[in-house]
Amino acid sequence: MILLDYHILHFMSTHNFLIYFFPFIFSLILAIILTPLIKKLAEKFQILDEPACERKKHIKPIPLLGGLAIFLSFLITLISVWYLGWLNDGVLKSAQIFGIIFSGLILMLGGFLDDKYNLKPWQSFLFPVLSALVAVGFGIVVKYITNPFVAGTGPYGRALFYFDWFNLPISLAAIFSFFWLLGMTYTTKFLDGLDGLVTGVGSIGAIILFLVSLFWDVPLSATSILCLILAGSLLGFLKYNFYPAKIFLGEAGSTLIGFMLGTLSIISGAKIATALLVMGLPILDVVFVVIGRVISHKHFYEGDRRHLHFRLLDIGFSQKQTVFLLYFLTLLFGSSAIFLQSQYKIVAIGVLVLVMVILGVWLTVAYKKKYNV
**Domain for residue 361, yes or no?**
no
Burial of 19 (0-12, 13-18, 19+ CB in 10 A): middle
CA-based diameter of the chain, in Å? Answer: 63
Task: Give the separation between CA 98 and CA 366, rounded to whole angstroms.
Answer: 49
Q: According to the model, what pLDDT value does residue 168 have?
A: 46
Using a pLDDT cut of 70, give the percent of the chain over it. Answer: 82
- pLDDT bin (cut points 50, 70, 90) of residue 7 is low
**Domain for residue 354, yes or no?**
no
**Domain for residue 122, yes or no?**
yes
**Domain for residue 338, yes or no?**
no
Q: Residue 234: which domain range?
A: 2-279
**73-77, 151-155, 186-190, 266-270: least confidently modelled range:** 151-155
**pLDDT tens digits, residue range 89-111?**
888 999 999 999 999 999 999 99
**Domain for residue 368, yes or no?**
no
Q: According to the model, what pLDDT value does residue 126 have?
A: 96
Q: According to the model, what pLDDT value does residue 58 have?
A: 57
**Domain for residue 104, yes or no?**
yes
Q: According to the model, what pLDDT value does residue 347 have?
A: 80
**Can you list the alpha helix ranges (DSSP code H) found in 55-93?**
66-83
Using a pLDDT cut of 90, give the percent of the chain over it. Answer: 50
Task: Give the separation between CA 262 and CA 140, rounded to whole angstroms.
Answer: 10
Q: pTM (2 decimals)?
A: 0.88
- pLDDT bin (cut points 50, 70, 90) of residue 53 is low
How many structural domains does the chain have? 1
Q: Which residue has the higher pLDDT, 221 or 149?
A: 221
Q: According to the model, what pLDDT value does residue 366 have?
A: 85
| Residue 160 three-state SS | strand
**Domain for residue 92, yes or no?**
yes
- pLDDT bin (cut points 50, 70, 90) of residue 169 is very low
Q: According to the model, what pLDDT value does residue 218 have?
A: 64
DSSP calls for 314-365: HTT--HHHHHHHHHHHHHHHHHHHHH--HHHHHHHHHHHHHHHHHHHHHHHH
Q: According to the model, what pLDDT value does residue 220 have?
A: 77
Q: According to the model, what pLDDT value does residue 11 have?
A: 53
- pLDDT bin (cut points 50, 70, 90) of residue 208 is very high
- Does residue 338 carry a pLDDT above 80? no
Task: Give the separation between CA 64 and CA 248, rounded to whole angstroms.
Answer: 5
- Does residue 1 carry a pLDDT above 50? no
**Domain for residue 69, yes or no?**
yes
Check if the beta carbon of residue 119 is closer than 8 Å to that of residue 112: no
- Does residue 281 carry a pLDDT above 60? yes
Bridge partners, residue 162, by sequence:
144
**pLDDT tens digits, residue range 12-33?**
555 577 888 999 999 999 999 9
Q: According to the model, what pLDDT value does residue 301 have?
A: 65
The amino acid present at 248, given as its one-letter code, is F
